[in-house]
Structure 1
Amino acid sequence: MRRTTLAAAIGNTVENYDYAVYGLVATVLAKNFFPGSTPGAALLSTFAVFAAAFVIRPIGALLLGSLADRIGRKPTLVVTLIGMAVVSTLIGLLPTAASIGVAAPILLVLLRVGQGLAAGGEYGTAIIYAAEFAPAHRKGEMASRVQMGSLAGLLLGAIIVVGLSLGLGPEAMQTWGWRVPFLLALPLGAIGLYLRNRLGETPEFEEVKEVAEDLPTVDRKLWRGLLLIGVAATHAVGFYLAFTYVQNLIIQLKFSLVTATVVIGIALAVGIGLVLAGGRVSDRIGRRPALLIATGVIIVASYPLMAGLTSSTNPWALGIFAVLLAAAPSFYTGIAPITYIEMFPVHARGIGVSLAFNISVAVFGGTVLYVTQWLVQTTGDNRAGAFVLIGSAVLSGLTALALPSVLAPRAPRPAGRVAPEPA
């Protein structure tokens, strides 16, 4: 199981490493690709390009999710990993506006679109791959380990950005240092490709692949998809707000890029453990109760924590509030993956999970940075991000109340001690 979850998770690590690097160097990219704009407008433009990859993700999910149901999970994961690694490398080689003018932001948008197509099939297929190998009583835990790979990608991006910022200084980081993290996606992708090529197809897919064409269409598939979109709202908003937007917010509060990235790195390290805890708790008490607990905490705690964050005057207080603000969303993202999987039967799982999840990510995750930054600039209130997070939690909490109608029954935990799974 360890090799399986590692192979599944590493693609999410690459995917979120790419997204993290883009978000973490957003202020640098704004000056290189939108140099004629005011700082606020340039940052908005950079976030709009960030959103471009999310808008296209449902199309990637439609194509690659369908592929995962037809030819298998493993070959689809190989395709997505290659696509993400290659596109990220090309971003690292892209000339800036100073060299090629308006063509630079256009090419950046096109590459982000290509990245979104590949990413559209990655996450859903990866969590399905891990869960379909797992024993029934540990499916939540195994799916959450893939989600841990997502946070690990953000953490890796944060570590590399901090290291480069400290080692190179602001001027070198602005001129060429920002390219290095994007170029590192290529060797990271090569490692992931090696791991994925060593594994086989999932046993659950092997059982149904011969008869998949004769199986009935998923009943209430539209209802299942709508519920998944609602559940995924907090997953998408919480993930990108807590770990990408907050980093840029800290910089706007006049802290350095290094301080901001170290704070986010600590929040990510704590969050990785909370993701695993969320998956394990969902195996014990059920998906719906765990989701409701997490959304309740987010609704109650987000505003006071955001207020504390924005009023912090030293890095220690800043770190404490950033970690606490990210805690409940991290726990939530450990519960959500197995919830998505259990909404759909095996033969329709690839397309069902990938398409609905990526629609939610496009609508909520892809716009959260832009919407939150716009709210802050419009209202003059730098705590506005809390209301975005609270709104997503209200939506997901209400959606969770309807989940029993589509969730597969949870397998009982075996009595007594369970022998450890082989590596």
Structure 2
Amino acid sequence: MPNSEWTKLHTAVVSVQKCPDFQVTGQWKVITEQDGNRSSDIFDSVLICTGHHVHPNLPLHSFFGIERFTGRYMHNREYKEPAQYAGKRVLVVGLGNTGADIAVELSHTAQKVWLSTRSGSWIMSRVWDNGYPWDMVYLTRHQSFLNKVLPRAISDYLYESMMNKRFSHEMYGLVPLDRGSRKEPVFNDDLAACITCGTVVVKPNIREFTETSAIFEDGSVIENVDVVIFATGYSYAYPFIDDSIMKNSNNKVSLYKGVFPPKLEKPTLAVIGLVQSLGSIPSTSDVQARWAVSVIRGICKLPPKEMIVQELNEEETEKKSWFGRSETLSMDYITYMDELSSSIGCKPNLPLLCITDPRLAWEVFFGPCSPYQFRLTGPGKWDGARNAILNQWDRTIQAMRKREVPSHTGLSSFIALMKLLFIPLLLFTVFLAWY
């Protein structure tokens, strides 16, 4: 590593190149630019942490007639605040998190808001059972285990039933074309209410634009459109590094475990934060970075290239069946975190916990798969992890619970009794999941 201080803001990375003796040293030449001045340094390893929300994706070629539309159209990146759209007739294209948020926000100021979706999406509330965040309730090892062992038809039925818990997506015109796909749902607490009130109208995919209107695939037309906001996502790119390093034969970024380019002679370049799953990006990136550093330092070993390529091909087929076609590297959160943490040596040992700490084992298996679980043991162990897991439910609601109310001791006793009765079931299920 260079001796110079390398905390540099407002510095662009121009190029990342293999050093001439890369096969021996694994080193990289990094060229940077600051205030018009370029410099280069040699690094033993490089971690790319730019994520996938980098370049706005504005596929105007997919929307026939957009060039003759006389109103304003833009990518959602240009959207800043709703006041300037007061009294306007706005069409939002794209039913993702951003598109839904913008449509809901504009429904309070714009004259009329339409939301066009090509394939629909499941809409989830951030607030789930008993007022807890949805991921605390849903992202559990128990739920992940059921998804693996149940027949796909039953798993899809339970998944769809859960998504329709608040309202019928079919009735609201939101149901996805591929109902069983586990692609990331949309998180929005207000969209259904806006649709009910008529302040947001859901429309199908756009067939074409005229000078002032939009014509949809079902033949319906909306006239006098003032603004079109394309909430069509982002694309990622690595212009500072040669495509032969990052991309496969299909010109797509291909990474082993979503981190390492499979073609490198030395695993000294890693990508952090590109994968997409239902879990949080910070916790996923944390485990990725820990594993990447372990590989770079030689503590963890990657399999031979032939096995890596074979595994990548098998994973791509499996992921398409679960997540559909996606430009991002979709992963099952718990499975992915367990794979990496197992390599690091920090995956929680559930069979052992069932014997030595049954209370903690219960919370690890049935409770939220929070990042504390990967700090219980191994490298990076944190002494406060156990206490953080056992107290996470209470800490979550402390910010909201400003008025004390009597607790239901009878219900608490019943829950305690149920936990006691189900400990044998927990032990059996955990051993099945582990082996």
Bigger helix share: 1
Give your verdict on TM over 0.5. no
**What TM-score, normalized by structure 1, do the two folds share?**
0.25
Relative contact order (alpha carbons < 8 A, sep ≥ 6): 1 or 2 greater? Answer: 1
| Bigger radius of gyration among the two | 2
Greater fraction of residues in strand: 2
Q: TM-score, normalised by structure 2?
A: 0.24
